[in-house]
Amino acid sequence: MKGFIFDLDGVIVDTAKYHYLAWKHLADQLGIPFSEEDNERFKGVSRRRCLEILLEMGGMEVPQIQFDAWLQEKNEDYLRYISQMDSSEILPDVPRVLDYLRGKDIPMALGSASKNAKAILEKVELTSYFRTIVDGTEVAKAKPDPEVFLIAAYRLKIPPADCVVLEDALAGIEAANSAGMYSIGIGDPKVLFEADRVFRDFTQIELDYLEELLYLNSKPVK
Ligand code: B16
Ligand code: MG
């Protein structure tokens, strides 16, 4: 029996654009130049770490109370975008893959760094697909640490070597690999070169390939 663990942002929905707008808004206020390219570094990275990176970019050091206020401000801004989301924002062919796996009774989990993961899944009406949701509120060590995926595997009751992870961030692929899981990158193969397999997006994932994965031997321990 295999288990599938999905990242959220960049795999199921494209919330990176909303994170970008919210970070950009804060960066503008602080006078720190911030481009979409800079935002790439924030993918899969915790909110707190993102703000640390932004302040490093601006050469700023601030008291904890100010740091926490900006974190909250960014999140409130981000939540305003999230509140407008609906199922039209699910990335192409994601439901096709989820429906196929659900049809085979394959246990699925969500493993995301986002503290807003549950709210986003509700907005796009995908909550019911997942037996368990492990999000940024439950994890102490951020990706590339494997904690988020190991908790997900434990809750699915599937050994890590029989879990398949779908991830768009290199840190997430590294996390899956160090958990001993089969890693599928969603995005640019040059960025996600450490993955066992990479697809540009879900439209490239054929059902025959998914079927093969279901019968794959457990991933050997390195
Ligand atoms: P939040 P993922 C990650 O989600 C995002 O990729 C990353 O850009 C974001 O900073 C992080 O969640 C925290 O999000 O501010 O909502 O707690 O890709 O792990 O699903
Ligand atoms: Mg992601």
Residue 50 has pLDDT above 70, yes or no: yes
- Asked if 32 and 62 touch (Cβ cutoff 8 Å), the reply is no
Please tell me the distance from the alpha carbon of residue 2 to that of residue 163, in angstroms, as a whole number. Answer: 6
What pLDDT score does 112 carry? 96
- As given in the structure block, the two tokens for residue 176 are 């899956």
Task: Give pLDDT tens digits for 95-153.
Answer: 999 999 999 999 999 999 999 999 999 999 999 999 999 999 999 998 999 999 999 99
Ligand nearest to the CA of 185: 2
pLDDT bucket at 40, cuts 50 / 70 / 90: confident
- Whether the bond into 189 is cis, omega within 30 of 0: no
- Substitution candidate for ligand 1 out of 5, 8, 9, 151 with most atoms within 8 A of CB: 9
Ligand nearest to the CA of 113: 1
Of 219, 197, 188, 157, residue with least CA distance to 43: 188
Q: Across residues 23-27, what is the average pLDDT? A: 98
What pLDDT score does 221 carry? 67
Residue 219 has pLDDT above 90, yes or no: no
What percentage of the chain carries pLDDT values higher than 90? 94
Three-state secondary structure call for residue 81:
helix
- Whether the bond into 144 is cis, omega within 30 of 0: yes
- Percentages (nearest 5) of helix, strand, coil residues in the chain: 50, 10, 40
- Asked if 184 and 210 touch (Cβ cutoff 8 Å), the reply is no
Give this prediction's pTM.
Answer: 0.94
Distances (CA, A) of 11 to 44, 60, 93, 120: 11, 32, 11, 13
Instruction: Give the ligand 1 atom nearest the CA of 75.
Output: 15
* Residues catalogued as catalytic: 7, 9
CA of 13 to the centre of ligand 2 (A): 9
Amino acid at 143: K
CA of 135 to the centre of ligand 1 (A): 9
Of 38, 37, 78, 36, residue with least CA distance to 54: 38
Mean pLDDT of the chain: 96
Ligand 1-lining residues (CB < 6 angstroms): 7-10, 19, 42-47, 50, 75, 112-116, 136, 169
Please tell me the distance from the alpha carbon of residue 106 to that of residue 129, in angstroms, as a whole number. Answer: 10
- DSSP H helical segments within 104-169, as ranges? 117-123, 147-156
Query: Can you list the domains of the chain with their CATH numbers?
Result: 3-14+87-214 (3.40.50.1000), 16-82 (1.10.150.240)
Residue 222 has pLDDT above 90, yes or no: no
